[in-house]
Structure 1
Amino acid sequence: MIGILNRLMEQIEQHLEVEIDFDELLAGSGTTVYHVRRMFSSLAGMPLSEYVRRRRMTVAAADLLEGQDLLGLAVRYGYGSAEAFGRAFRAVHGAGPGDVRRDGGPLRSQPILRFSLTVEGCVPMDARIVERPEFKLVGHSARVQLIHEGSNPQIQAHIASLPVSEHARLKELGNTEPAGLLQVSADVDADYREGSELTYLHGVAMLDGTVPEDLDTITVPAGTWAVFRTSGPYPVALQNVWASTATQWFPSNPWLLREGPSMVAVLERSEDFSTATCELWLPVERG
């Protein structure tokens, strides 16, 4: 994966002035665009699309300071007008093209990223591969914003809005793995952008049985799952496992992320939920 990402960085530099077709650039690499976008955002801390935008505006700033025409730059870098180019330029540099041309700055350059391997892995990751038939995720869903660190207040408010009796009812409906009450994230942006919207479902997994009409349902096709177990401070330990899947587990194993919901099963928890034992279920396919 490290080699694939570095080759992609080189190819992006050669395609800054044209619309980038990532399917074409990654053809024959043995991976998928979805997996690469998710791994890039986890490792680089920004979406792949944002990196491309920053690199374009970094190179465009040099062209601008050489006195090149603003409309010509807009066309060269794929913008429909000088105004659209100016907005993108300001979003990256914090100043408009006119300000930069007059004052020489400020400029916020995006260096070309290079990925390298750090030898870690001293602590084995507790993971298993599971094949599951089609099943349903059943519960109460809401649209929330993605937050990478700390508790998500929108999710907390959604769960708090449910009566205690509803948790017990949901537990009785669950009849397949993952067991117990689940925290489900679906329709997640492939770039995993902070603040992007996703569907959060608080519910259970059902293999069969009648779904009550007042509950939301996500049908999950048959497929393979990588399951990671973690124990410790909640949600920090769980979020650390999320990060480690990108930095350690996926680069070391022949599996790729595929589209589908991710699920967290809380197996044990302290009374105040400050610590917990969880399983993280990620949809995968053979690379």
Structure 2
Amino acid sequence: MDWLNAMNKAVEYVEANITNKIDIEEVAKIALSSTFHFQRMYHMITGITVGEYIRRRRLTLAVQDIISGEKIINISHKYGYETPEAFTKAFRKMYGVSPTAARESGVNLKAYPKLSFHLSIKGDKDMNYRIFDKESFMVVGKQAKISMIDEQNFSQVPKFWRGCMKEGSYQWMSSKAGKLGILGISKDFDKYKDEFNYMMAIEKIQSTIPKGYVSANIPAATWAAFEAVGPVPEVLHDLLRRIYSEWMPSMGYQHDCAPDLEIYPIGDMFSRNYSCEIWIPIKKYK
């Protein structure tokens, strides 16, 4: 399958250049993807970002150099750290010991192996979806910076929603929401910091916008909308992974250059019967 071959070629490129400065945009091209789509899919499938994978692989390979007796300062430069102190800090975070201590006999260390991609579709749950085109539209809402490192996004986004509910933004948007309801929008992915902007928003309205709100344009796109039934956010996590790891590669689609949308109709979002949607902008693999 083209998708599998492209993703595995991208990993091979990373491995071949592990001691060099790696351009994520070049890696994405090898994967026949946009930068956003490649990083988003990689994170959804593996649970870590591309940047974190590179860091873990470099530190895994660095152990071999440490045990062989190479100087720490040389190893730190070899794997892209500006100073031995920065390397030592990263090494200790991953292994729990300093590079010098790793040379001692009997120290427990862990390796992070090279990844490879295989398509495995369980098919144990239906994925109800529809595909449609929609013209561009404007939204307005509250925005926060979200980190993807160590899957912090899965805790930071619900925390952001709780904050908006506590200070009244959610209630204001609920009273002004159009037919789409309230939207959760993931956009502006930063390939260098493993971050993206997340908005709680509604379709732009004509009345005065309160202070602290921002607006954004959602471009025209072809969307695949997936139904999710159950309490938010639990029902969304598994569905997102299945969309990226099963549906997109098996159907021959990739992410187009537009934000991901969560569509929340006004209602009890914590009910077992609550129905919402995830919209993914798509295009066929070339």
Asked if these proteins are the same fold (TM beyond 0.5), I'd say: yes
Alpha-carbon distance between aligned partners in 2 of 1:77 and 1:218, rounded to the nearest angstrom: 39
TM-score (norm 1): 0.83
CA RMSD of aligned residues (A): 2.9
1:60 alignment partner in structure 2: 62
CA spacing shift, 1:116–1:272, aligned 2, 3 Å: closer
Q: Summarize the alignment of residues 22-33 of structure 1 with structure 2, pairs less than 5 Å apart.
A: 22-27=24-29, 29-33=31-35
Alpha-carbon distance between aligned partners in 1 of 2:59 and 2:16, rounded to the nearest angstrom: 15
Alpha-carbon distance between aligned partners in 2 of 1:237 and 1:191, rounded to the nearest angstrom: 29
2:98 alignment partner in structure 1: 96
1:152 alignment partner in structure 2: 158
CA spacing shift, 1:224–1:80, aligned 2, 3 Å: same
CA spacing shift, 1:252–1:232, aligned 2, 3 Å: same
2:248 alignment partner in structure 1: 250
2:206 alignment partner in structure 1: 210
| Deviation of 1:188 (Å) | 4.5
Residue 261 in structure 1 maps to residue 259 in structure 2? yes
| Deviation of 1:187 (Å) | 3.3
Residue 170 in structure 1 maps to residue 172 in structure 2? no
| Deviation of 1:152 (Å) | 1.5
| Deviation of 1:88 (Å) | 2.2
Q: Summarize the alignment of residues 131-142 of structure 1 with structure 2, pairs less than 5 Å apart.
A: 131-142=133-144
Determine which of 47, 50, 58 is the counterpart of 1:48.
50
CA spacing shift, 1:204–1:63, aligned 2, 3 Å: same
Question: Is residue 93–residue 107 contact of structure 1 (8 Å, CA) maintained in 2?
Answer: yes
| Deviation of 1:49 (Å) | 0.9
| Deviation of 1:192 (Å) | 10
Which amino acid in 2 is paired with 1:152? P
Which amino acid in 2 is paired with 1:156? R
Q: How many residues align?
A: 277
Question: Is residue 134–residue 220 contact of structure 2 (8 Å, CA) maintained in 1?
Answer: yes
CA spacing shift, 1:13–1:181, aligned 2, 3 Å: closer
CA spacing shift, 1:211–1:149, aligned 2, 3 Å: same
| Deviation of 1:95 (Å) | 1.2
Alpha-carbon distance between aligned partners in 1 of 2:159 and 2:78, rounded to the nearest angstrom: 42
Q: Summarize the alignment of residues 189-204 of structure 1 with structure 2, pairs less than 5 Å apart.
A: 198-201=197-200, 203-204=201-202
1:79 alignment partner in structure 2: 81
Alpha-carbon distance between aligned partners in 2 of 1:92 and 1:271, rounded to the nearest angstrom: 38
Which amino acid in 2 is paired with 1:133? E
**Uncovered stretches (5+) of structure 1, i.e. residues with no partner:** none
2:184 alignment partner in structure 1: 183
CA spacing shift, 1:200–1:192, aligned 2, 3 Å: farther
Residues 225-255 of structure 1: per-residue CA shift (max 9 Å, x gap): 2211122233322222112101211111232
CA spacing shift, 1:116–1:135, aligned 2, 3 Å: same
Alpha-carbon distance between aligned partners in 2 of 1:151 and 1:162, rounded to the nearest angstrom: 17
Query: Comparing 225-234 with 92-101, which one deviates more in the overlay?
Result: 225-234
1:15 alignment partner in structure 2: 17
Alpha-carbon distance between aligned partners in 1 of 2:27 and 2:249, rounded to the nearest angstrom: 20
Residues 129-155 of structure 1: per-residue CA shift (max 9 Å, x gap): 222222111234445665326982331
Alpha-carbon distance between aligned partners in 1 of 2:71 and 2:156, rounded to the nearest angstrom: 46
| Deviation of 1:54 (Å) | 0.9
Identity of matched residues, %: 25
CA spacing shift, 1:236–1:272, aligned 2, 3 Å: closer
Residues 195-235 of structure 1: per-residue CA shift (max 9 Å, x gap): x563332x3224xx635232531122222222111222333
Which amino acid in 1 is paired with 2:222? T
**Uncovered stretches (5+) of structure 2, i.e. residues with no partner:** none
CA spacing shift, 1:235–1:199, aligned 2, 3 Å: closer
